Structure 1
Amino acid sequence: MGGERSWRRPARRRRPARVGLLAAGAGLGFCLIGVAGLGAWNVQVVTGSSGPVRETADGFLREVSAGDADRAYGRLCADTRSRWSAAGFAAWLRTPPQVTGYEITDVAVATRGGRPRGTVAVRLTRDGGGSEQRELPVVREADGWRVCGDPY
């Protein structure tokens, strides 16, 4: 009778290029998802911060125009308080021409170095009727938003 043929599994064709491309595509997809997530987080931080930045600047300027130096000093950031004493800040506020009113014209919030920072454009009215445009820098500290730099 005839000889029996042994059964053999057909040889697999290896496709290393296809596997490599699939792995690279999956890695790229994960990276894009991560970048999109970080971008969405950044947008939330920036858009959610314009209200508190405006409120901080508004409170500070309200206290400055009312002559309440102690409360205004409490709204300054740690860096500015390290350069100004409470007494020096109060004397600076009483120096003519004093601020008698203000109008907030614009609020901008951006991240710099991973930290949100705000800039509030304000028109200050001084006693005697003069007015000037200023930018008020506002930064985020552990306990909230603070006015930083030379306020006006």
Structure 2
Amino acid sequence: MGRQRDWHHTARRRRPLRAGVLIAGLGVGTCLIGVAGLAAWNAQVVFQADGPVRETADGFFRDVAAGDTDAAYERLCADAREKWSRTGFGSWVRTPPQVSGYEIVDVSVTTRSGKPTGTVIVRINRDGGGSEERELPVVPEGGGWRVCGDPF
């Protein structure tokens, strides 16, 4: 007769590597979705801020070129208003050679530590034909954007 086979029970294989890879993949996928969401939020803040930052700088220099120093002063941030009194700012702006015109060359908005900050490059034209480029910092304050720092 034939030979009798020994009964052999095969052990169930466990697949810890496959489970670990699956869990790691899900974790990485979740992180990537979070990073993409944060990047989209930052991009939205930056792109939506470009227009208001430009409008703030444009209004400030329009007021300065028109000689309306009170309106220009109101567009300054609190830090700048602490450095300049309304009268001192008006005298400073009216010091020759006065601003006769301007051109906004570039507008950029960045976020640092989650706070947006704008920078506007402006070509300032002065009485007598001189011109110069200045970097104008613009910051969010009080629900809007304000000119901050030394614009001249």
What's the TM-score, normalizing by structure 2? Answer: 0.87
Report what 2:105 is aligned to: 105
Corresponding pairs, count: 143
Q: Letter of the 2:111 partner, please give it.
A: T
What do the CA deviations read for 1:64-93 (whole angstroms, capped 9, x no partner)? 111111111111111111211112111111
The Cα offsets for residues 81-127 of structure 1, whole Å up to 9 and x where unpaired, read as: 12111121111111111111111111111112221111111111111
Q: Give the Å deviation of 1:12.
A: 4.3
For 1:1-150, list aligned pairs within 5 A.
12-150=12-150
Q: 1:5 — aligned with what?
A: none
Distance 1:142 1:33 in 2: 33
Shift of 1:44: 1.3
2:20 aligned counterpart, secondary structure: helix
Corresponding residue number in structure 2 for 1:3: none
Aligned residues: CA RMSD: 1.5
Structure 2: distance between partners of 1:104 and 1:17: 59
Give the counterpart letter for 1:41 in structure 2: W
Consecutive unaligned residues in structure 1, runs of 5 or more = 1-9
**Does the residue aligned with 2:36 lie in a helix, a strand or coil?**
helix
1:16 CA displacement: 2.1
The runs of at least 4 aligned residues of structure 1 exceeding 6 Å deviation read none
SS in 2 for 1:140: strand
TM-score by length of 1: 0.87
SS at match of 1:24: helix
Q: Counterpart of 2:101 in structure 1: which amino acid?
A: G
Give the gaps of 5 or more residues in structure 2. 1-9
Q: Deviations over 1:33-91 (max 9, x none)?
A: 00011111111111111111110000000001111111111111111112111121111
